[in-house]
Structure 1
Amino acid sequence: MEACFPCFGPRKKKVPPPPAEATSGDPPHRHDVAAAARTFSFEELAAATRSFGEDRLVAGKEPCMYQGHLKSVNQVVAMKQQHLVDHPESTEQRSSEFLARVLMLNALRHPNLVNLIGFCADGSHRILVHEYMPLGSLEDHLHADPSADKARLDWSTRMNIAAGVARGLEYLHDKGVAYRCLTSSDILLQDGDGYHYPKLSQYGLAKVRQFIEDPGEARAFARTTFGTLAPDTMITGKVSMAADVYSFGVVLLEMITGRMAFNHSAAGAEEDRCLLGWARPLLQDRAEFRRMADPALQGRYPSMDLEETLAVASMCIQQDPAMRSPISAVVTALARLAYDQAQEPHGHLS
């Protein structure tokens, strides 16, 4: 650990506990998983969303996502329409794929994952029902219009979010699951006792070593994740744990700098629009670290913590997958950086 992050020393800081309702532990047996996921009728879900009206659509990158209050569980939930089984010859295959997806998602239970509540396989409808996260995504809070009704995240909140995301990834990797590409829009926030608890959306999950085989899908995926997608995944199409670490490093830099991974609307050279193109030269010069801090923080962060967090990010975004830090080391490092703002005053860079 010290070899990867030599500047880290022991810390004693309070880290917010996980949400009380979340559970962890080994996933249940396949037979038990199927019984654990609740089943909902299409009629019940339609009633909760006013027949999936536009006013119930959830803003974000996921299409066909709705929110509504389900009386049977007395809870506001998010509902993701998967597809319609509209051709008799495809019914068996699509039903099998959907069931496999339900089984995988329901077997994953961790405080930093959005939990699957149930599903609908009623007639031709295939719908996943998840926890609803009313605070939106990390992307919303980092890159919202300054005039929008979104509170800016302070340094300690960003570090606690980063630590929680890393713990969620570590759990997934232990279960042989990875993201196709983790982005700040995949990190959803839950409020509790004044903290912002991060939870990873389950919609980007895939089995480790899975390939993005369809050429059209691969091109669209690379286009929508440009700036965050690991170069090895871009070349091979293969999902991997090392690629997750790379994407996490980009998201961590977003939290540090307040910059988008790739700003499509920005003018100028690609280096000015791409976060990594801008950040890599600065990471080579300690004297430039101050320039990398998000101006919205107004200097309210410990200078040593900034340096250490940049060291973590730098070890994650190595071009060579073999050189990237394992997620377990990232978890250990960020656990030392996460703290309750009330426990320690913020310093300023000199």
Structure 2
Amino acid sequence: MKLIGFSLFLWTTLLVSVHSDLASDRASLVALRAAVGGRSLLWNLSSSPCNWTGVTCVQNRIIELRLPGMGLSGQLPIAIGNLTELRTLSLRFNALSGPIPSDFAKLTNLRYLYLQGNRFSGQIPGFLFSLQKLIRLNLANNNFNGTIPESVNNLTRLGTLYLENNQLSGSIPDINLPSLEQINVSFNHLNGSIPTGLSGKPLSAFLGNSLCGKPLVSCNGTESSNGTESSGNKLSGGAIAGIVIGCVLGVLLILVLLICLCRRKGGKKTETRDIAPAKQAEVEIPRDKAAGESDTRSSGLSGVVKRDAKSSGSKNLVFFGKASRVFDLEDLLRASAEVLGKGTFGTAYKATLEMGMVVAVKRLKDVTVSEKEFKEKMEVVGAMDHQNLVPLRAYYFSGDEKLLVYDYMPMGSLSALLHGNRGAGRTPLNWDTRSGVALGAARGIAYLHSKGPGISHGNIKSSNILLTTSYEARVSDFGLAQLAGPTSTPNRVDGYRAPELTDSRKVSQKADVYSFGILLLELLTGKAPTHALLNEEGVDLPRWVQSIVREEWTAEVFDLELLRYQNVEEDMVQLLQLAINCTAQYPDKRPAMADVTSQIEELCRSSSEKETQIHDADVGSSQQTYSVDSGAPPSSVKD
């Protein structure tokens, strides 16, 4: 009986302890919400904190608190330090100010601390460097001043230290941390020499300071930070040569601009009339609108194509299926033309015919196949009929000119939508839109693959995913890879190319799957493959994502615009895993597009059902939450 009584006492004590720990954690979050969250944190205070947005629990203890971009403001209270089991704390991109509270010293289990993009001020507290389990510390883009503490060397497990864009001064301490892979102290007020242990880090990690030593210029007195001699006012021979070369280049640039202006004025006089001098040069077109830029220059399409097309005699456009034949080649050449973009296989134009019809015309380049082979391949492309493909309506072939006529997509490309305007006034691209685009593109590509093992796209990327006015995806440029010569290497430099692809003309369906996986990563991270280097030179998008996932920083992968949709995090992680599977190094490890499509369909269906359930639940829970504050109606609060 004594033994049974002791056991009951032990279990009762344990249960009370667990409940007490969770109650303490809950009290800390409530204090945090009262101080800086207010109505930004729509937590149902009557439920368990483990169910609150941004909170992750294990064994009834809070181990993760992720509240990025939640509109938090004011100073942090003395509260978070009571979350003694916390492993990850992310408060990045809010408007928090003041010093870091002293109770952070109690977060001895903390591994990942993200405070970047706030207004924290004061010196970097030394107690942060007593948290010996820290792996990743990001204090960038704040107002910290003072020096970098010598005690940084206490963090023997630290792999990342970001301190850029603060007001730190003094010299960099002699940091000697074998595990430190990434550091950035750029754009502070630091001076002195860069420690030898950091000499192998990228140049960009130290810019915007008064520092010297590798990887910057030498500190031996022969050079200063601007590359001129410090012993006097004389310029070195290299500097003089640079000035001379710069002047010459400046003169040449001015001449080129004058020539371009003259040619542009001459082109305006022709408007939509045929201009067919034999030695007329092709119009130089800027890169496609992948960065959101547009080229509004407009002229007659006949001013772009060569004489061969305009004197083609019996040759005309070849139409497919039930495409409208209300215009011919001459009508097309008289159409006003606006540049849409320059891609792998040629330049695309928006062509407005005199009758008002608008089409997209792609002028191909580097086509190496014969007219017979071109016709055969275009017959295959023209026969493709699916709601998620941009249909080929007609084509024209002659010795010097190859034109393709498509439906015009007024909303432009996914690339422009994702990367075009990241500044003020941008409408965030939500989860429903992104997952819908992923599903539409997957269906279009799966349809192509269903037409036979030898049928593939060959150039899948975000600039080739066009959008309707309702943001439905339409895949373009399919079937063109095998027309190009060996010098046209789609995906080779833009981050979408499968590692096994050595000849751009010999693409495979598994290579398409790889490119589609990159597209999924782009949708989830908001980063173009060519700009995914972050602070690691030479790292492509899949490797960057996998490195973060391996270190259990998964939420740090996602685009900030997606992190506001906390209720779909599970779905985002599932799509991320699918993207990683698609970008497997070896082709036989990648799923088929039909399986990829099925998984995305299931994911979208799950998201839709979950959204409906949450919406229904929020009607009651949000009212209950707001009654605790001051009775403000939920309708007065924006997401």
Cα distance in 1 for partners of 2:532, 2:464 equals 19
Cα distance in 1 for partners of 2:382, 2:504 equals 29
Cα distance in 1 for partners of 2:386, 2:496 equals 24
Q: Select 2:447's aligned residue among 144, 157, 171.
A: 171
Structure 1 equivalent of residue 334 of structure 2: 47
Is residue 434 of structure 2 the alignment partner of residue 158 of structure 1? yes
Q: Secondary structure of 1:119's match? A: strand
Please tell me the residue identity of whatever aligns with 1:326.
A
Q: Select 1:68's aligned residue among 351, 359, 363.
A: 351
CA RMSD of aligned residues (A): 3.3
Question: What stretches of structure 2 of length at least 5 have no aligned partner?
Answer: 1-317, 618-639
Q: Select 2:477's aligned residue among 197, 202, 205.
A: 202
Q: Is the 8 A contact 1:170 1:327 kept in 2?
A: yes
Q: Is the 8 A contact 1:178 1:240 kept in 2?
A: yes
Distance 1:151 1:135, change over 3 A: farther
Please tell me the residue identity of whatever aligns with 2:362.
K
Normalising by the residue count of structure 2, what TM-score does the alignment of the two structures yield?
0.41
Deviation, structure 1 residue 35: 6.1
Distance 1:265 1:134, change over 3 A: farther
1:66-92 superposed Cα distances (whole Å, 9 cap, x missing partner): 1123366x631101123699xxxx9xx
Cα distance in 1 for partners of 2:613, 2:335 equals 45
Cα distance in 2 for partners of 1:142, 1:276 equals 18
Q: Secondary structure of 2:474's match? A: strand
Structure 1 equivalent of residue 506 of structure 2: 238
Structure 1 equivalent of residue 158 of structure 2: none
Please tell me the residue identity of whatever aligns with 2:555.
R
Cα distance in 2 for partners of 1:106, 1:338 equals 30
Distance 1:263 1:83, change over 3 A: closer
| Structure showing greater relative contact order (alpha-carbon pairs closer than 8 Å, 6 or more residues apart) | 1
Q: Select 2:571's aligned residue among 288, 305, 330.
A: 305
Deviation, structure 1 residue 228: 1.3
1:239-264 superposed Cα distances (whole Å, 9 cap, x missing partner): 11111111111110110111111228
Is residue 458 of structure 2 the alignment partner of residue 180 of structure 1? yes
Q: Secondary structure of 1:178's match? A: coil
Please tell me the residue identity of whatever aligns with 1:305.
D
Cα distance in 2 for partners of 1:241, 1:123 equals 31
Cα distance in 2 for partners of 1:333, 1:84 equals 38
Q: Is the 8 A contact 2:428 2:561 kept in 1?
A: yes
Deviation, structure 1 residue 330: 0.8
1:40-61 superposed Cα distances (whole Å, 9 cap, x missing partner): 5332112222xx4xxx111353
Q: Is the 8 A contact 2:419 2:528 kept in 1?
A: yes
1:76-87 matches, cutoff 5 A = 76-82=358-364
Q: Is the 8 A contact 2:396 2:403 kept in 1?
A: yes
Deviation, structure 1 residue 150: 5.7
Q: Is the 8 A contact 1:38 1:118 kept in 2?
A: no
Q: What percent of counterpart residues are identical?
A: 31
Q: Is the 8 A contact 1:270 1:277 kept in 2?
A: no
Q: Select 1:338's aligned residue among 595, 599, 604.
A: 604
Between structure 1 and structure 2, the one with the greater Rg is 2
Q: Is the 8 A contact 2:352 2:358 kept in 1?
A: yes
1:31-42 matches, cutoff 5 A = 36=322, 41-42=328-329
Q: Is the 8 A contact 2:459 2:477 kept in 1?
A: no
1:302-326 superposed Cα distances (whole Å, 9 cap, x missing partner): 1211221112112111111111111
1:230-309 matches, cutoff 5 A = 230-234=498-502, 238-263=506-531, 268-271=536-539, 274-285=540-551, 287-301=552-566, 302-309=568-575
Distance 1:243 1:77, change over 3 A: same
Q: Is the 8 A contact 1:141 1:150 kept in 2?
A: no
Q: Secondary structure of 1:191's match? A: coil
Distance 1:100 1:318, change over 3 A: same
Please tell me the residue identity of whatever aligns with 2:510.
A
Deviation, structure 1 residue 338: 2.0
Structure 1 equivalent of residue 582 of structure 2: 316
Please tell me the residue identity of whatever aligns with 1:135.
M
1:123-162 matches, cutoff 5 A = 125-147=401-423, 151-162=427-438
Q: Is the 8 A contact 1:143 1:258 kept in 2?
A: yes
Q: Select 1:58's aligned residue among 305, 317, 340.
A: 340
Q: Is the 8 A contact 2:441 2:474 kept in 1?
A: yes
Normalising by the residue count of structure 1, what TM-score does the alignment of the two structures yield?
0.72
Q: Is the 8 A contact 2:581 2:591 kept in 1?
A: yes
Cα distance in 2 for partners of 1:100, 1:172 equals 17
Cα distance in 2 for partners of 1:284, 1:126 equals 48
Please tell me the residue identity of whatever aligns with 2:517.
G
